[in-house]
A and B are shown apart, each in its own frame.
Chain A
Amino acid sequence: MDKSGDDFMVKYILKRLLSVIPTLFILSIIIFGIIHLAPGDPAKIILGPDATDEALAGLRAELGLDKNIFQQYISWLWGAFHGDLGQSYFRNQPVMTAIKQHLGPTLVLSCWAQLLAVVFAIPAGVISARKRGKSVDSTMIILSMIGISLPSFLLSLFLIIIFGIHLGWLPVAGYKAMQMGVGVHLKSIILPVISLAGLETALLIRMTRSSMIDILHTDYIKTAYAKGMSERTIIFKHALRNAFNPILTTIAQSFGSLISGAAVIETIFNIPGMGQLIVNAVLQRDYPLIVGIVLVISTIYVAVNFIVDILYGIVDPRIRTIGKSK
Chain B
Amino acid sequence: MKTVELTANELTVDKKGLWEYRKMVIREFLKNRLAVLGFIITSLMIVIAIFGPLFTSASPYEMNAVQRLEAPSTVHVFGTDTLGRDLFTRVIYGLRVSMVVGFMTALASCILGIVLGLLSGYFSFLDDVIMRICDGLMAIPAILMAIVMMASLGPTIVDVIFSLVVVYTPRVARIARAMTLSVKEQTYIEAIQALGASWPRILFFHIAPNILSPVIVQTTYIFASSIIIEAALSFLGAGVPAPDPSLGNILFDAKGVIFKSWWMTAFPGAFMMLTVFGVNIFGDGLRDLLDPLSN
Contacts and interface: CB of A to CB of B under 8 A. Distances in A.
A39 B151 CA distance: 10
A30 interface: yes
A238 B140 CA distance: 35
Contacts of A261: 143
Interface string B234-260: 011110000000000001001100110
Given A26-B132, A160-B258, A260-B142, A35 B232 contact: no
Contacts of B276: 148-149, 151
Nearest to B254: A157
A24 B139 CA distance: 8
A175 B59 CA distance: 41
Contact of A297 (B34, B144, B231, B280): B144
B293 to A, nearest CB: 10
Given A158-B269, A302-B139, A153 B144 contact: no
18 contacts: A23-B136, A25-B136, A35-B151, A146-B277, A148-B280, A150-B273, A154-B251, A157-B254, A165-B258, A213-B295, A256-B142, A259-B141, A260-B141, A278-B144, A282-B148, A283-B238, A287-B151, A298-B139
Contacts of A210: 294-295
A160 B259 CA distance: 9
A326 B272 CA distance: 48
B277 A149 contact: yes
Contact of B144 (A25, A145, A263): A263
Contacts of B139: 23-24, 27, 256, 298, 301-302
A264 interface: yes
Interface string B107-144: 00000000000000000000000001101110111111
Interface in A33-65: 34-35, 37-39
B147 A282 contact: yes
Contact of A298 (B144, B236, B238, B281): B144
Contacts of A178: none
Interface in A257-297: 257, 259-261, 263-264, 267-268, 278-279, 282-283, 285, 287, 290, 293-294, 297
Interface string B206-249: 00000000000000000010001001100111100000000000
Interface string B262-281: 10011001001100110011
A287 B51 CA distance: 42
A183 interface: no
Contacts of A278: 144, 147
A30 B136 CA distance: 8
Interface residues of B, number: 47
A27 B295 contact: no
A145 B277 contact: yes
A6 interface: no
A69 interface: no
Interface string A137-178: 000011001101111011001101100010000000000000
A298 B137 contact: no
A26 B147 CA distance: 19
A308 B273 CA distance: 33
* Residue of B137, B228, B254, B265 with most chain A CB atoms under a 10 A cut-off: B228
Majority SS at the chain B contact face: helix
B198 interface: no
Given A214-B295, A279-B236, A294 B254 contact: no
B144 A260 contact: yes
A181 interface: no
A151 B237 CA distance: 16
Contacts of A154: 231, 251, 269, 272-273
A26 B133 contact: yes
B141 A298 contact: yes
A278 B145 CA distance: 12
Given A31-B148, A157-B258, A210-B295, A256 B141 contact: yes
Contacts of A22: 132, 136
Given A30-B140, A145-B277, A151 B228 contact: yes
Contacts of A29: 136
B206 to A, nearest CB: 28
A157 B141 CA distance: 23
B149 interface: yes
B109 to A, nearest CB: 17
B251 A38 contact: no
Given A146-B277, A151-B231, A34 B149 contact: yes
B149 A264 contact: no
Interface string B149-183: 11111100000000000000000000000000000
B284 interface: yes
Interface string B4-40: 0000000000000000000000000000001000000
A259 B273 CA distance: 22
A211 to B, nearest CB: 10
Contact of B280 (A23, A30, A38, A149): A149
A149 B274 CA distance: 8
A37 B149 CA distance: 9
Contacts of A35: 148, 151-152
Nearest to A267: B236
Contacts of A38: 151-153
A149 B151 contact: no
A263 B280 CA distance: 24
A37 B236 contact: no
B143 A263 contact: yes
A131 to B, nearest CB: 14
